[in-house]
Amino acid sequence: MDARKYTYSINGEDFVLETGRMAKQANGSVFAQYAGSAVIATACCSSKVTEGLDFVPLTVEYNEKYYAAGKIPGGFIKRETRPKDKEILVSRLIDRPMRPLFDKAFGREIQVVPTTISSDQVNPPDIYAINAASAAVHISDIPFDGPIAAVRVCHVDGAYVVNPTFEQIARSALEIIVAGTKDGITMVEGGASEVSEELMLGAIETAKKPIADICALIERMRAEIGKPKLPLAPLRVELQKKAAIEAAAKPRLEKALFTKVKQERYGAVAAAIKETAAEFADVLADDVQKKLFDALMEDIQFHALRNAILDRSLRVDGRGLEDIRAITCEVGVLARTHGSALFTRGETQALAVATLGTVFDEQILDDIEGDRRERFMLHYNFPPFSVGETGRLGTGRREIGHGHLARRSLEKVLPTKEQFPYTIRVVSEILESNGSSSMASVCGGSLALMHAGVPLKAPVAGIAMGLITDGARFAVLSDILGDEDHLGDMDFKVAGTEAGITGFQMDIKIAGVSTEIMTKALAQAKRGRLHILKIMNETLPAPSADISVYAPKIVSLKIDTDKIGAIIGPGGKNIKALCEMYSVEINVDDDGSVTVYGKNQKNAYECRDAIKAIVTDPEIGRVYQGTVKRVMDFGAFVEILPGKEGLVHISRLSRQRVASVSDVVKEGQKIPVKLLEIDKLGRLNLSYVDAIEESEGKKGE
């Protein structure tokens, strides 16, 4: 096939989708380019077909090559290795809107690999990777009920900007990635600086037209050059005695489903299924029949839960549509940590721990966007015991994604480095989970930070919203359970302060949601968020006045930039000596900002005073407490400030005649001296303040 190009104009620049020139052996491949950023996306499927799969075996592996930005990987190994967090997060952005559009009956493993191969470090390549991946699958022979398209929308200087530059993103009050089909929005993710629900809705509305236009472009590619789709592999057999099994199982499952406690509910559902299976054991001896039986049990639960909500506004735990589960908050639950909180909402519980560190603890990031440091980290752990299961402990894509959402929700309310010069790490340990542990991490993280004495602009809470639809009918659910997420049509997480939204993430399992549904969901989420904040504020209304005694003590000062060399000294001699003398760490920035990190307050302040002395110019007429460094025949050299010595001539050691300097002072002795003058060569001439001078001075006073 000859190379074909398709273009769409964004901000006066062509977004180009090209196929037929690169990676032609893949089932589908698309080279996408915008300005100096370029991505090649490929889609492949296996030749082996597995019938009766109850999931889509899809993997998305977004990756960035260092050469894209003209860089060589840092560290000992000079090649790209394991995926970075950013690559995992972009992989999730691609996976989430695409996965629902693949058919389980296809029965083949699918792998989508978008690779950033050029980066101008002006235009973020991730958004073009999403569109390239969608196009690669849609023109391939892999069945796909797409396409999808995505744009990033920011609110910069009072206006919405589609697919902004890195510089515009940094200045924006709202950053949102929106993905969808021609029929509607299916995914939203982003962060904001306490913006209103109306501003967020405006951003989503702004995204709809370019998404529809890009979908139309990909549809045109499919119509002109797309491959014939491979066949599906649905099971060609039906469940025997299906009507009888359904009649037996339905009342049992409907009763079991509405058991309020999660573990009891799961036990009751399992018992109902087991009882039904035993009744029809003759049918279920065959593996295929067992798969069909399991699918029917899932289908019965799906409709039972949804019908109860739509027809009777009844949820499985007995709550109303807007009811929030019982919440308890505790702070200071751990004795030796810098800040801790235990946040429990129903059967979801997060133990959040805040740790304060120094500038030397900052996270160093090395990627194609350039080397940079982050002073705020949030790490989310989801151990298998939190859902009563066994399994491996580790950090997977779920942990990276949920931690990123919680981090994004909290970072906008953190104080600046100038206001609070600590590196901050929050760890959220999920101890129980039954719905929206990421939002529990936001609530617990906010409390832990405040308990640690971090002066947040405002506390932050989060809530997960759900959706059940049936034609024109719909119901929006507040504070959804795991079952409502699994069997519902939407998972919409919203975090924020009383003033506005700071973080959000929405996944839609249906073709799209209307503006009416989005408006209702956001309004309902706000009411829920304010309810949670009220409970949190009753526990801890303001940040702790003091930080933990176990946290490092930080003292900051500002010096003239031309004095930086004096602090550091030749080969770092001076700064090393200060660190050893006072048991501290010292960081000096190019702008003259000096930060001292001490294990205790006394050492930090003493080191600060020593630094001030180094950078302070000697004052004529001032009396200093100096240290005798050398004793000579003609006088003594005395250090009045670190690195600054002057001479006390023998004639100025006493009012009486002195036969030998050593008769009056000795090396290492501390004596009061007065700075008389600084000569043309910059030498300091001192006078010993003896008892006579002191007494005369007192008489004069």
- CA–CA separation, 624 and 122 (whole Å): 56
CA distance 25 to 348: 47
Exposed (0-12), middle (13-18) or buried (19+): which is 419, by Cβ within 10 Å? exposed
More confident position, 691 or 404: 404
pLDDT digits (tens, 9 = 90+) for 278-323: 999 988 888 888 988 998 999 999 999 999 999 999 998 889 999 9
What is the per-residue DSSP string for 442-455? HHHHHHHHHHTT--
Higher pLDDT, 127 or 698: 127
* Cα–Cα distance for residue pair 443/455, rounded to 1 Å: 16
Burial class (CB in 10 A: 0-12, 13-18, 19+), 47: exposed
Class (C level, CATH) for 623-700 = mainly beta
Q: Is the pLDDT of residue 700 over 50?
A: no
User: Of 235-239, 566-570, 690-694, which range is least confident?
Assistant: 690-694
Q: Which H or E element spans position 632?
A: strand 623-632
Whole-number pLDDT of residue 622: 86
Q: From the options 3.30.230.70, 3.30.70.1710, 3.40.50.2300, 3.20.20.10, give the CATH code of 4-225.
A: 3.30.230.70
Q: Are 199 and 207 in contact (CB under 8 A)?
A: no
Neighbour count for residue 285 (Cβ, 10 Å):
8
pLDDT > 60? residue 696: no
The top-level CATH class assigned to 553-615 is: alpha beta
> Which of 157-166, 514-523, 547-556, 652-661 is modeled with the greatest confidence?
157-166
CATH 1.10.10.400 residue spans of the chain: 242-312
Q: What is the pLDDT of residue 1?
A: 64
CATH top-level class of 242-312: mainly alpha
Which residues of the chain are in CATH 3.30.1370.10 domains?
Answer: 553-615
* Percent of the chain with pLDDT strictly greater than 90: 66
Is the pLDDT reported for residue 327 higher than 70?
yes
Residues of the chain with pLDDT > 70, as a percent, come to 98
The Cα–Cα gap between 584 and 554 comes to 10
Shortest CA distance to 147 belongs to which of 69, 294, 41? 41
Q: What is the DSSP letter of 384?
A: G
The reported pTM is: 0.85
First-to-last alpha carbon distance for the chain, in angstroms, is 100
Asked whether the predicted pLDDT for residue 94 surpasses 50, the reply is: yes
Rounded to 10 degrees, the C-alpha dihedral 472/478/479/485 comes to 0
- At 535, the amino acid letter reads I
Element (H, E) at 298: helix 287-312
DSSP-assigned states of every residue in 557-624: EE--GGGHHHHH-GGGHHHHHHHHHHTEEEEE-TTSEEEEEESSHHHHHHHHHHHHHHHSPP-TT-EE
| Answer CATH for 327-539 from 3.30.230.70, 1.10.10.10, 3.30.420.40, 3.40.50.300 | 3.30.230.70
Where does the chain hold its CATH 2.40.50.140 domain(s)? Answer: 623-700
Across residues 17-33, what is the average pLDDT?
96
Q: What is the CA radius of gyration of the chain?
A: 34
Specify which residues 370 forms β-bridges with: 367
Cα torsion 534, 536, 538, 540: sign = negative
**Four-residue CA torsion sign, 160, 161, 162, 166:** negative
pLDDT at 695 over 50: no
Taking the mean position of all CA atoms in its chain, how far away is CA 27? 34
Q: Which residue has the tokens 């993103």?
A: 169
> Which part of the chain has CATH 3.30.230.70?
4-225, 327-539
